[in-house]
Amino acid sequence: MSLTFLIPSSTIRSSTRKNIKSVIGGQERLDVISRCLLNLARWNNRLGKEIRLFVYLSHNLEQKVLEIPISKKMNTLQSEIDSTHMSIEILANPQEYNADYIDISFKNLLDNLNKKSSIFYLTPNGLLINKQKEISKEDSTLCFILGSQHDLSDEQEEALFNLEYTPTSIGEKNYLASHVITIVCNHLYNLNEG
């Protein structure tokens, strides 16, 4: 079973110069992704599934996905500072982390994912996660799509609405993307244990 989290970001750029200070200061809101990376690295060993973080760079000059497999190399991450360093490195040298940039439209990326995975769109207005049977099947290939510092754009939602997907909620409150990831992983972990 594999688990993919797809997050679109309209602000992150693949080749601008970044350093720890500029990112902590908010540059391109890479901090959002760096927190997601840290949380996924922590869940990686516990869940026993292949986990991938897909960051879709939707800026006009990008239109590509950065596919990041969560690997043992990330076990060393202890803090947000570590994961910020690593996020900057992955963007600049993806091959060192077996990550890859792929030029693709958001719609085509969704179509590809839809062929192999069950798609869940994370939104407070969805069906509660603990009511969904597909998620609890052990051999399923799951893809969760969520917003970054912003929700999905209207255009991205429209591309999603043309697919077979399940709107999925972890509650009525609005959570940060990294918190949403942790709550989803915790749910999957409890299913496995139960």
Should residue 146 be labelled a site residue for ligand SAM when binding is judged by CB under 6 A?
Answer: yes
- The C-alpha atoms of residue 79 and residue 58 are separated, in whole angstroms, by 27
Identify residues 113-142 at the interface with ligand SAM (CB under 6 A). Answer: 122-124
CA 136 to each of CA 127, 133, 151: distance values in angstroms, whole numbers, following the listed order: 15, 5, 26
Identify which range of 53-61, 94-102, 111-119, 170-178 contacts ligand SAM by CB under 6 A: 170-178
177 binding ligand SAM? (CB under 6 A): yes
Instruction: Give me the residue whose beta carbon is nearest to ligand SAM.
Output: 147
- Please, which residues have CB within 8 angstroms of residue 172's CB and are 6 or more apart in sequence? 124
Span between the terminal Cα atoms of the chain, in Å: 17
Do residues 181 and 40 lie in contact, with contact meaning Cβ atoms separated by under 8 Å?
yes
Number of residues in contact with ligand SAM under rule CB under 6 A: 17
Q: How far is the CB of 8 from ligand SAM (least distance, A)?
A: 9
Instruction: Give the residues across from 101 on adjacent strands.
Output: 66
Site string for ligand SAM, 84-113 (x = CB under 6 A): ------------------------------
